Amino acid sequence: MRALEIAMIGVCAAIYAVVGRLTDLGITGPGGVAFWPAAVIPAIFAVLFGPWTGGFGAAIGIFVRDMLFHGDPLLSLSAGVTANFAGFFLVGYISRKNLDWKKIIISVAFSSVLVVSSFLVPMALPVESGAVSKISSSDAILLFFAAVTGSIILIVAIAHFWPEWKNYCAGSVIGLGVGATIISIAVWMYSQLFFSPYLGGPLQSTLIPAIFVWTFASEIPFIILLGPPVIKSCYRAFPSLKPSQQPETKEK
């Protein structure tokens, strides 16, 4: 990594931790996951300075914020840190690639399958009686199609109105989907294995989809709506930050 990228990791982490704590408004959703408009910050850094910068900056920043908020380092490392690194690394990685529609749709569909599968696995594990309610097969099918359809509609809408941000939108949807999945599974698993005053005891596995939906829905609007204008302004001020992309080749 270049010296600039390492320096930007520190800047990203500091801004992410401070702004995140100031803008969460004390609002928490299922599983104690905070309202999180600050998610746009590492997304911007991931696009401007690369996936490693966004991933590490988000991981360090969320750890600092969690220590200021609930003070449980193991919970932060198992859920917040891993989810933020994976999610924003993917945002930066995918946004810098030249993706055609076929690759985008396949990637979103594959990610949606992983999400739904991840929901079903914990519900099949043996836990204390009454702690788990299994999701029905019809609900799983609806969840799968909702995840795929909603993500594709969002990407198509962005590509229509802001075609230059198609890859950024795809990266944001996939990255945030992966991150939200890690958070929802990790928080539930942590509540089963360890006592946490913040979580207040074991969580029912039926909360896993709710945690995912809350995490995704409370962050994606800020990433999609605030990210492009800020990134575009940075490109205008510092043209060297804009990555050079190879033109797409048409298949014969």
Tell whether 213 is covered by a domain.
Answer: yes
Q: What range defines the domain where residue 82 resides?
A: 3-240
Could you read off the pLDDT of 164-190 as tens digits, one per residue? Answer: 888 898 899 889 989 998 998 999 999
- 74-112 burial, b for 16+ CB within 10 Å, e for fewer? ebbbbbbbbbbbbbbbbbbbbbbeebeeeebbebbeebb
Predicted TM-score (pTM) of the model is 0.83
- Per the CB < 8 A criterion, the answer to whether 215 and 94 are in contact is no
Give whichever of 29-38, 94-103, 142-151 has the largest mean pLDDT: 29-38
Residue 25 has pLDDT above 70, yes or no: yes
According to the model, what pLDDT value does residue 213 have?
80
Q: Please report whether residue 52 resides in a domain.
A: yes
- Cα(134)–Cα(138) distance, rounded to whole angstroms? 12
Give how many domains the chain has, as a whole number.
1
Residue 116 pLDDT: 65
- Is residue 252 domain-resident? no
Q: Does residue 217 form part of some domain? A: yes
Alpha helices in 1-136 (DSSP H): 3-23, 40-49, 51-69, 73-75, 82-95, 101-123
Residue 31, in any domain of the structure: yes
Q: What would the mean pLDDT of 2-13 be, rounded to a whole number?
A: 92
**pLDDT bracket for residue 54 (50, 70, 90):** very high
Is there a domain that residue 7 lies in? yes
pLDDT value for 128: 43
Q: Is 231:224 a contact under the CB 8 Å cutoff?
A: no
